[in-house]
């Protein structure tokens, strides 16, 4: 019983001395600041118009023609306001073409 008490006392002493409340070092603070800055820059990059967070959908195009617009009869629909049919994608092998409907104005940034 006496040896069990000694083992318990040594174990408790180890636990208590290992739980000291030391102040963070400059290296800890610098690291945390660097990680926060990197995270903020990453969020800003992801919010850019040509990055993943601005992706509206990921649709696999089958070989041939696929229509696109707001009407449910299209192969691909969008919930954004717009014409019933915006245009048609044509896929052949590893190439894709887009042909807008007559009267549809397109622009690029």
| Local mean pLDDT, 10-residue blocks, the chain (109 residues) | 71 66 76 94 86 76 93 88 90 94 83
Question: Own/partner pairs for 45-51, CB < 8 Å, 24+ apart?
Answer: 49/109
CA atoms within 13 A on the CB side of 62: 6
Entry pTM? 0.50
């Amino acid at each position: 019983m006496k040896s069990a008490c000694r083992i318990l006392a040594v174990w408790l002493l180890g636990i208590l001395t290992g739980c000291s409340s030391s102040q963070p070092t400059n290296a800890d603070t610098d690291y945390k600041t660097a990680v926060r800055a990197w995270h903020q820059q990453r969020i800003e990059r992801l919010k850019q118009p040509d990055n993943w967070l601005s992706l509206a959908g990921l649709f696999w195009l089958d070989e041939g023609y696929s229509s696109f617009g707001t009407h449910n009869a299209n192969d691909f629909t969008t919930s954004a306001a717009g014409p019933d049919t915006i245009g048609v994608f044509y896929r052949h092998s590893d190439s894709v073409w887009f042909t807008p409907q007559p009267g549809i104005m397109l622009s690029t940034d």
